[in-house]
Amino acid sequence: MPFKTMGLADPLVRGILATGYTAPTDIQSQAIPAILAGKDIIGCAQTGTGKTAAFVLPMLHRLETVPQVTKKTRTRILVVTPTRELAVQIEQAVRGYGRYMNLRTIAVYGGTKIETQIKFLRKGVDVVVATPGRLLDLIQRGSVNLSMVEVLVLDEADRMFDMGFINDVRKIVAELPAERQTLLFSATMPKEIKKLTESIQKSPVMIQIGRQQNPIETITQHIFPVSKNQKMDLLLHLIEREDMGSVLVFSRTKHGADKICRKLNQNYVEAVAIHSNRTQGQRLKALDGFKRGRYQVMVATDIAARGINIQGISHVVNFDVPAFAEDYIHRIGRTGRAAATGDAMTFVSEDEVNNLRKIERFIERTFEPRMAEGFAYTHRVTLETKPRTDGKKSKPGSSQRKRMKSQGTGQSHKPKAQDGPKDRSTESRKKSRQQSPAKKKSGFKRAGKKPSPKAAGPKTAKINCESVGK
């Protein structure tokens, strides 16, 4: 079914065709008619299946075909999303699809001057795309009026739960009219999100595309066993030997991302790093440079796993195996988007085998290890899971939220010593101490311990990767 036959407004159809799209994806084919009919929906689909357009297109159709109640421009559409990058990209999608419409939109998020956003909001906007923290700040200042919101969109709801934004979302919902349309989109659907939908939606239509645990079929997954100290050499080897046009590398830590970026640039690979320590301007400049092909490689932490929606990423490299299986799905979902093909490569060292097994259980698949042709391995890394030595049986993998909950509330209890015959030498030492006279206390007062001078931390190595903040 082409977009022309879905009943969308003519200016919107022109905007869709101008972006190069002609036919909707599965999630769009099912979600758009339901949204146009005014129903609340829960859209659950794999990463990279076109969820953004599934809610942007019908909400723009509403703005074009349903006149606003007042003459003064009021916020009619509110989109709440967990990260700055997602907020920017959704707002860009609104501008792109609505290029032939008369509308005002803004993305509000932290890391930028709030005064500029307040000034723009005062002039009146049709669509606000916001992260929860900054939106609550604007609400408390009385700088945004949400009393006329007709459609609320919660994008990446599971990620908002992971990042601890659910209570913020409830506060935002309390500021909205009771009579509204609520659309919720998510890659996975944990129990906590289901509870949220029960309190904020009315008889929602559930749209499920594919299985939540599976990556999209256009992604080819590769597992490379390699020692930790050879991962950097392997990455450089693959970039040189493989046809890797646009590469997204995931690191577990910010320091690791900077280190990888520095090593790549030292070996004449154009690379840039993006993580939470970078300013919003630096992050946007990095994304723009990566999109335009200025950088062949972008190194990111998991904060960007849901916030990068760039067409044409040929390879995703998991430099570190993610601790949670869900993060693996979101990481590799950055490639193979919009029916394109992509490759996902994961480097696995000896101490990461258990994390790999969690991923295999989660997606119900066993990986065959691959050796890089022509690479000089120092030693062979085996992916066999080592048996536990504490006598306990290994438990099957559980979801990320259950693990986090158990880690947060679990308490370790030391086993009580069993009653039994005491060691005779211990008994004799106790008896001798009881019989010996008590030592006379010294008349000198023990000097207080002098506070040790503040230890100087290691000097931070200067990052040689090209600074996007310059």
Per-residue pLDDT of 147-173, as tens digits, reads: 999 999 999 888 888 778 889 999 999
What pLDDT score was predicted for residue 392? 52
Q: Around Cβ 87, how many Cβ atoms within 10 Å?
A: 26
Beta bridge partner(s), residue 273:
299
Residue with tokens 């693996």: 328
Spatial distance between the Cα atoms of 240 and 12, rounded to a whole number of angstroms: 43
At residue 242, does pLDDT exceed 70?
yes
- What pTM does this model have? 0.63
Domains of the chain: 3-209 (3.40.50.300), 219-363 (3.40.50.300)
Q: What percent of the chain has pLDDT over 70?
A: 77
At residue 469, does pLDDT exceed 50?
no
Interval 303-315 mean pLDDT = 73
- Do the beta carbons of residue 429 and residue 233 sit within 8 Å? no
At residue 297, does pLDDT exceed 50?
yes
Give the confidence band of 323 by pLDDT, cuts at 50, 70, 90: confident
- Do the beta carbons of residue 192 and residue 166 sit within 8 Å? yes
C-alpha distances in Å from residue 449, one per residue of 109, 154, 443, 444, 452: 48, 56, 18, 15, 9
Give the confidence band of 183 by pLDDT, cuts at 50, 70, 90: very high
- Do the beta carbons of residue 168 and residue 24 sit within 8 Å? no
Q: How far is CA 297 from the centre of its chain?
A: 19
Q: How far is CA 24 from the centre of its chain?
A: 25
DSSP state of 369: B
Range of weakest confidence among 54-68, 86-100, 280-294, 449-463: 449-463
Range of weakest confidence among 140-154, 209-223, 261-275, 332-346: 209-223
Spatial distance between the Cα atoms of 133 and 136, rounded to a whole number of angstroms: 5
Could you give the residue ranges of the DSSP H alpha helices within 78-230?
A: 84-97, 114-122, 132-140, 157-162, 166-174, 191-200
Average pLDDT, the chain: 81
What pLDDT score was predicted for residue 257? 93
